[in-house]
Amino acid sequence: MLKHTVVLGLLMSSSLLFGQLDSNSVTVSANQNTNLQPDQVVFGIYVMSGINNSLDDVLAALKTSGITMANFSGVSTNGTQVVTGLPRQAIQWAFALAVPFAQMKSTVTALTSLEQSVPQANSQLTMTFSVQGTQVSTALQQAQTCNIPGLLAEATAQAQKLTTAGGLTLGQILALASTAPNSAQGNTTASFISGSFSSLLLAPAPQNCSLTVKFAVTRY
């Protein structure tokens, strides 16, 4: 089993994925699975507006928070809004904000203040927010590297077993192919209830490396 260490901790294993033996060569693939612990919490920010309001109106009301078009995640027209005691058709504008765990408390404070200031900036708007889950940051994903020497050693060991079992001798490497870690988010759940976080479940996000090696083989 390959061993590899990263910040925040992870679980990793290596296994033979595929081995093909013929009279002239043997091809073996080794896999390295790394589970990265999420390091960011994702907030959903929702702004309700009248049907005559635009995205520019919403962004203007959110300007002081630093939320921009880059945070925009979608819009829905299947909503209602209560204005001066009367319900009306409304548009919901959704935004996503990812922050490090260390900034969760300060972000809740900032969003709570924003929730109060948005209607003051534009009386046609109301805002709510919630925690959507957690994710592995791009920076943490990019910091991971494939353990190529370890994968090569694993592939060589597996190829040696195949050739020995087939009455052949393992020769030189003919070809190599590798894949880098995948970008992935953890499947997580979280909720924000009465000023505190509840049921924050961190699920590791898998990052996969693989190496396929083709060896020459000869008869005894």
pLDDT tens digits, 43-96: 999 999 988 889 999 999 998 888 999 999 999 886 666 655 656 778 999 999
Q: Are residues 21 and 72 both part of a single domain?
A: no
Q: Are residues 142 and 200 both part of a single domain?
A: yes
Tell me if 5 is assigned to some domain.
no
Q: What value does the mean pLDDT of the chain take? A: 77
Q: Are residues 116 and 169 both part of a single domain?
A: no
Asked whether the predicted pLDDT for residue 107 surpasses 90, the reply is yes
Q: Are residues 48 and 112 both part of a single domain?
A: yes
Tell me if 176 is assigned to some domain.
yes
Q: Are residues 106 and 149 both part of a single domain?
A: no
Tell me if 147 is assigned to some domain.
yes
Tell me if 4 is assigned to some domain.
no
Q: What CATH code is carried by the domain that includes residue 60?
A: 3.30.70
Tell me if 58 is assigned to some domain.
yes
| Residue % of the chain over a pLDDT of 70 | 71
Q: What CATH code is carried by the domain that includes residue 158?
A: 3.30.110
Q: Are residues 45 and 124 both part of a single domain?
A: yes
Q: Are residues 113 and 160 both part of a single domain?
A: no
Listed residues 134, 169, 194: the one ending a domain? 134
Q: Are residues 32 and 53 both part of a single domain?
A: no
State how many domains the chain has: 2
Q: Are residues 144 and 211 both part of a single domain?
A: yes
pLDDT tens digits, 175-207: 888 876 654 444 434 334 333 333 344 444 556
How far is residue 95's CA from residue 75's CA, in Å, rounded to a whole number? 9
Q: Are residues 149 and 208 both part of a single domain?
A: yes
Q: Are residues 183 and 124 both part of a single domain?
A: no
Tell me if 210 is assigned to some domain.
yes
Listed residues 116, 134, 152: the one ending a domain? 134
pLDDT score at 139: 86
Q: Where in the sequence is the domain holding 121, given as residue range(s)?
A: 40-134
Q: Are residues 91 and 50 both part of a single domain?
A: yes
Q: Taking phi first (over 0 means left), then psi (-120 to 50 degrees means alpha), and beta for anything else, what does residue 84 get?
A: left
Tell me if 7 is assigned to some domain.
no
pLDDT score at 109: 95
Tell me if 32 is assigned to some domain.
yes
Listed residues 66, 101, 134: the one ending a domain? 134
| Residue % of the chain over a pLDDT of 90 | 39
How far is residue 92's CA from residue 34's CA, in Å, rounded to a whole number? 38
